[in-house]
Amino acid sequence: MSETAPAPETAGGTPPHPLRAVVLAGGLTFEREVSLSSGTQVVEELTRAGLDAELRDADAELLPGLAAAPADAVFIALHGATGEDGALRAVLDLAGVPYVGSPAAACRLAWDKPAAKSVVRSAGVTTPDWVALPHSTFRELGAGAVLDLMVARLGLPLMVKPASGGSALGVQKVSRVEDLPAAMVSCFAYGDTVMVERFVEGVEVALAVVDLGDGPEALPAVEIEPESGVFDYASRYSPGLTEYHSPARIPDEAAARAAEVAVRVHEVLGLADLSRTDAIVTPDGEVHFLEVNVSPGLTETSMFPMAVEAAGHELGDVLAQLLARRAFAGR
């Protein structure tokens, strides 16, 4: 990984104007505040790296603004559906605006956790068994009967989570059958489809991947140690409830295997530029894929920046290189 963003030179050798970046953050999802924190951090890092960076929301003023004052490239720091389900990226493609990150179709696939798990499993990557069903199925067939079948198939404990979404919103660990209905009701508040997944005991790790032109590269794994034992929304964003270890305290062989899984996931899902895979490393060193994030958090306490730092790089330099690649590719 090179240390500085490439910069073009004019024929006369005069210094180029700094690249102009528009950083998209905010949106109208449950993750708006986290996104604004990420976007603010990205603007600061890009500015420190010598770029002209501006923070913008994804609203009705965005497209007219980009048409009136075109950006060399857009950096998407939106979390939740707005930034991760591919729709915004498809619109940017229509407008001919280059952006950092995965293409729209790949985002749609990664956003749908059950679909992503199916593709990843078909590629030979281990992932916990799961069942994903819409709310209508429980209503039409009877919640009690369906839940009984789930428990008989998957056992206990279980992880209950929305089939799409981020920031661990709606995620709960269920160890008792009687707690499952309430967990399902809570989960449906964040989406129409719920995914119930077999709980896997082990060390949870975040695996950042970056591609600066030489192919996707996995950065050092970040170990997640939540006080509650479950990395839910409160554990992510309440100070003091989670300890992070970067690099992760796992054997070298397991770390190498985790890196291979992260790169494999990035490739088979057709992702680009950057991603973060969440996984569990079991005591015997097996790596279980959980999900992948195409717009990872970039706040001061997020795991992607921790991985960049553990790799010995400056976050601003890495982000600037990603943006410069997209800017020059569009010229």
Structure confidence by residue, pLDDT tens digits, 186-206: 999 988 999 999 999 999 999
Whether the per-residue pLDDT at 12 is higher than 50: the answer is no
Rounded to 5°, the CA angle 49-302-75 comes to 45
Task: Give pLDDT tens digits for 157-176.
Answer: 999 999 987 657 788 999 99
What range does the domain containing 149 cover? 130-198
Domain of 323, CATH number, reads: 3.40.50.20
Please check whether residue 276 is in contact with residue 175, taking contact to mean a CB–CB distance below 8 angstroms. Answer: no
Percent residues over pLDDT 70 in the chain: 93
Q: What pTM did the predictor assign? A: 0.91
Q: Tell whether 324 is covered by a domain.
A: yes
Q: Say which amino acid occupies 299.
A: T
Of 11-20, 52-61, 271-280, 298-307, the one with minimum mean pLDDT is 11-20
Please tell me the predicted confidence (pLDDT) of residue 235: 76
Inter-axis angle of helices 315-329 and 303-310, nearest 10: 100
Q: In this structure, what is the dihedral angle of CA atoms 294, 299, 300, 306, given to the nearest 10 degrees? A: -10
Whether the per-residue pLDDT at 315 is higher than 70: the answer is yes
Residue bearing the bigger pLDDT, 229 or 135: 135
Question: Dihedral of CA 271/273/278/284: which sign?
Answer: positive
Cα distances (angstroms) measured from residue 139 to each of 133, 134, 135, 225, 258 = 11, 9, 6, 37, 39
Residues 210 and 247 in one domain: yes
Q: Tell whether 299 is covered by a domain.
A: no
Residues 29 and 115 in one domain: no
Q: Tell whether 47 is covered by a domain.
A: yes
Domain boundary among 198, 218, 245: 198
Q: Tell whether 15 is covered by a domain.
A: no
Residues 287 and 276 in one domain: yes
Task: Give pLDDT tens digits for 237-265.
Answer: 677 888 999 999 999 999 999 999 999 99
Domain boundary among 141, 171, 198: 198
Domain boundary among 161, 181, 198: 198
Give the span between the Cα atoms of 221 and 257, in whole angstroms: 11
The candidate with the shortest Cα–Cα distance to 34, out of 170, 213, 166, is 166
Q: Confidence band (pLDDT; 50, 70, 90) for 149?
A: very high
Whether the per-residue pLDDT at 326 is higher than 60: the answer is yes
CB atoms within 10 A of CB 13: 6
Please tell me the predicted confidence (pLDDT) of residue 301: 81
Is the previous residue joined to 247 through a cis bond, with omega within 30 degrees of 0? Answer: yes
Please check whether residue 294 is in contact with residue 110, taking contact to mean a CB–CB distance below 8 angstroms. Answer: yes
Give the span between the Cα atoms of 210 and 98, in whole angstroms: 18
Please tell me the predicted confidence (pLDDT) of residue 10: 36
Please tell me the predicted confidence (pLDDT) of residue 3: 46
How is residue 1 annotated by DSSP? -
Please tell me the predicted confidence (pLDDT) of residue 97: 97
In this structure, what token pair is assigned to residue 317?
A: 């330099």
Residues 205 and 174 in one domain: no
What are the residues facing 244 on neighbouring strands? 224
Cite the beta strand spans of 188-230 per DSSP E: 193-198, 203-210, 217-218, 222-226
Give the span between the Cα atoms of 173 and 178, in whole angstroms: 13
Q: Tell whether 10 is covered by a domain.
A: no
Q: Tell whether 115 is covered by a domain.
A: yes
Residues 120 and 211 in one domain: yes
Cite the beta strand spans of the chain per DSSP E: 20-24, 52-56, 73-76, 99-100, 130-134, 158-162, 172-174, 193-198, 203-210, 217-218, 222-226, 242-245, 274-281, 287-293
Give the span between the Cα atoms of 275 and 315, in whole angstroms: 14
Residues 76 and 174 in one domain: no
Q: Tokens 């730092």 map to which residue? A: 309
Residues 279 and 221 in one domain: yes
In this structure, what token pair is assigned to residue 112?
A: 């749908």
Give the count of domains, the chain.
Answer: 3
Q: Confidence band (pLDDT; 50, 70, 90) for 13?
A: very low
Please check whether residue 296 is in contact with residue 302, taking contact to mean a CB–CB distance below 8 angstroms. Answer: yes
Residues 206 and 185 in one domain: no
Domain of 178, CATH number, reads: 3.30.1490.20
Q: Confidence band (pLDDT; 50, 70, 90) for 80?
A: confident
Residues 119 and 85 in one domain: no
Residues 39 and 146 in one domain: no
Q: If you average pLDDT over residues 85-106, what whole number do you get?
A: 97
Residues 115 and 78 in one domain: no
Q: Where does residue 85 fall: left (phi above 0), alpha (psi -120 to 50 degrees), or beta otherwise?
A: alpha
Residue bearing the bigger pLDDT, 299 or 290: 290
Q: Tell whether 277 is covered by a domain.
A: yes
Please tell me the predicted confidence (pLDDT) of residue 4: 44
Residues 227 and 118 in one domain: yes
